Amino acid sequence: MINFVKMHGIGNDYIYVDAFQQQIKDPEKLAVKISDRHFGVGGDGLILIGPPTAEGQSKGAAVRMRMFNADGSESEMCGNGVRCVAKYAYDHQLSSSNPMRVETGRGVLTLDLWMQHGKVNQVTVNMGQPILKPLDIPVMITGVEQVVDYPIEPALPLEALTGRDWIKLCGLDDKMTCVSMGNPHVVFYCKNVAKVPLEMVGPIIEKHTLFPRRVNVHFVQVHNPGELTMRTWERGSGITLACGTGAGAVCVAGVLTNRTQRIVLANLPGGRLALKWSQPDNSVHMTGPAVEVFSGQFREDID
């Protein structure tokens, strides 16, 4: 039996396992089983909370986060997930640090915890500096220092791959911007984000050869310089109610393309996130809730 806790950050839900107490031999396989919304617990993936590595410990990390998507693939970071890791670590007395340092595939991140009735209910995470060099994201575009308002065609022939009707219907801008927040993101702007057939275009873009490590796909509608609405197709998980690193990437993309300010409110299907791309340290800061839903036990040998 595996003891778990179900948690979410504005609807971006994961199953969390305390790896201090339990050894998970095959987390990739477990992620697929336990994330299934019909035959498992159900979630966007699996997150293990365990002791930091020697390197992470030397940098002050209290815990280490490992994140696995619903398809079993391991990802570097999850902005909503890491907020819940900090809440779990504090509420379950793995660490009393505030700020708390958490080791991720993105490095060791600092999180400020906000309390209500003795429990963590909001977390601000410093997600670090965005990565903008194309081959570091990675995106297979050469000859430019940044992929900012870069023509979609012919690099990513959306019309040929998906048809023209939806492009006209949602008022898609003919440019894209690519950002890594430790994991790769591509951002598209449109006039009506609700009209994007995300279930159709998301998987095609995610797995296009332009993105050698696949990519998280975001469509964004800007309301004003301080507010936007976004929808996400997450690499390895599909349509999700929220994506924290994606919101961070969208914040950066908005500044780089002169569409939004450095402080912006992002509306996602699951709720709102407050973003700030700070000039002093060039880091992206994100604030949002972390919620524990329920706990239970899962039979690892279940078919």
Q: Do residue 96 and residue 203 come from a single domain? A: no
Q: Does a structural domain hold residue 175? A: yes
Q: Does a structural domain hold residue 28? A: yes
Instruction: Report which secondary-structure segment, H or E, holds 155.
Output: none
- In degrees, rounded to 5, the angle at the alpha carbon of residue 184 between the alpha carbons of residues 194 and 63 is 110
Q: Do residue 238 and residue 207 come from a single domain? A: yes
> pLDDT digit string (tens) for 190-216?
999 999 999 999 999 999 999 999 999
Q: Does a structural domain hold residue 149? A: yes
Q: Do residue 25 and residue 62 come from a single domain? A: yes
Structure tokens at 241: 């109610």
Q: Do residue 168 and residue 94 come from a single domain? A: no
Boundaries of domain holding 86 = 2-126+288-298
Dihedral sign, Cα of residue 56, residue 57, residue 59, residue 62: positive
Q: Is 78 a catalytic residue?
A: yes
Q: Which position among 78, 170, 178, 190 bears the catalytic label?
A: 78
Q: Do residue 243 and residue 293 come from a single domain? A: no
Q: Do residue 121 and residue 154 come from a single domain? A: no
Please determine, for residue 303, whether its predicted confidence score (pLDDT) is greater than 60.
Answer: no
Q: Which position among 84, 178, 243, 251 bears the catalytic label?
A: 243
Q: Do residue 112 and residue 11 come from a single domain? A: yes
CA dist 44 and 212 (Å) reads 22
| For the chain, percent of residues with pLDDT exceeding 90 | 93
Q: Does a structural domain hold residue 303? A: no
Q: Do residue 179 and residue 116 come from a single domain? A: no
Please determine, for residue 264, whether its predicted confidence score (pLDDT) is greater than 70.
Answer: yes
Q: What is the pLDDT of residue 300?
A: 76
Q: Do residue 38 and residue 110 come from a single domain? A: yes
Total number of domains constituting the chain: 2
> pLDDT digit string (tens) for 101-123?
999 998 999 999 999 999 999 99
The CATH number for 181's domain is: 3.10.310.10
Q: Do residue 66 and residue 194 come from a single domain? A: no
> pLDDT digit string (tens) for 123-178?
999 999 999 999 999 999 999 999 999 999 999 999 888 888 999 999 999 999 99
Structure tokens at 104: 């991720």
- Provide the b/e sequence for 96-117 (b: ≥16 CB within 10 Å): ebebbbbbbebbbbbbebeeee
> pLDDT digit string (tens) for 51-85?
999 999 999 999 999 999 999 999 989 999 999 99
Q: Does a structural domain hold residue 30? A: yes
Q: Do residue 292 and residue 275 come from a single domain? A: no
CA dist 55 and 212 (Å) reads 28
> pLDDT digit string (tens) for 229-259?
999 999 999 999 999 999 999 999 999 999 9
Q: Does a structural domain hold residue 87? A: yes
CA dist 32 and 241 (Å) reads 19
Q: Do residue 251 and residue 160 come from a single domain? A: yes
Please, are residues 251 and 85 in contact by the beta-carbon 8 Å criterion? no
Global confidence as pTM: 0.90
For 104-183, where are the alpha helices, taking DSSP H only? 158-162, 165-170
